[in-house]
Structure 1
């Protein structure tokens, strides 16, 4: 059976925006052989052509696609605190704990200076950056604000 080409004035099924249903429409405008604008024969509204949607292929019952077992995402494990503790012990060994400077955000610190922090305890300044110091404490490395 031959399929006739559509022209303006022909009938076509389209999804009506007002009726919210697939109904007969009259073609109002075409561009390049494609239906562009239609008029609903039920309510009389004119709108862009919305062709009938293709039904989705039904999956064969009983046959399920194998699900790929996914491993749950976890954060990357940090290096154990033992290594930070070993570094701290090596850095603090040659220094005298009685000479530790009390930490303050306005203080200026140089590398290999001993610091007494009210929360983290005794630490050694590892590096100075603009406005920050990296301090090695027994619990790990911390980046603290300073006037460096």
Structure 2
């Protein structure tokens, strides 16, 4: 697809989603003008307007946004790793409990998930727990009977 042309209606294309904070496929719902379109994220279903990138300085602008996004991503990752290590060290002597959807978990409990590995419970809700794993924070279901 040429850079100066909108994708056809009902077709998918790859662009950044602000709600997901990631590059995602979006479906074109309608062309609003010759340079803008109404699009919908295929993951979170948020709708937004899409404008064609500016010609000329778009490569440098896109590179700046990409570098900024990569910088913030690495900062987020290092802060997450620091949090994970701190929680793991604080619960070093605690016994790991195998994750089960029927189990009930408490704050700062060490969980061994079959897919995600060892994690520490950071938040507890009635039917969900927020668990910090080595790669990211995940919400898991618990307390189901």
TM bucket by the smaller chain?
Answer: 0.3 to 0.5
- Between Structure 1 and Structure 2, whose CA radius of gyration is higher? 1
The structure with more helix, counted as a fraction of residues: 2
Give the TM-score normalised by the residue count of structure 2.
Answer: 0.47
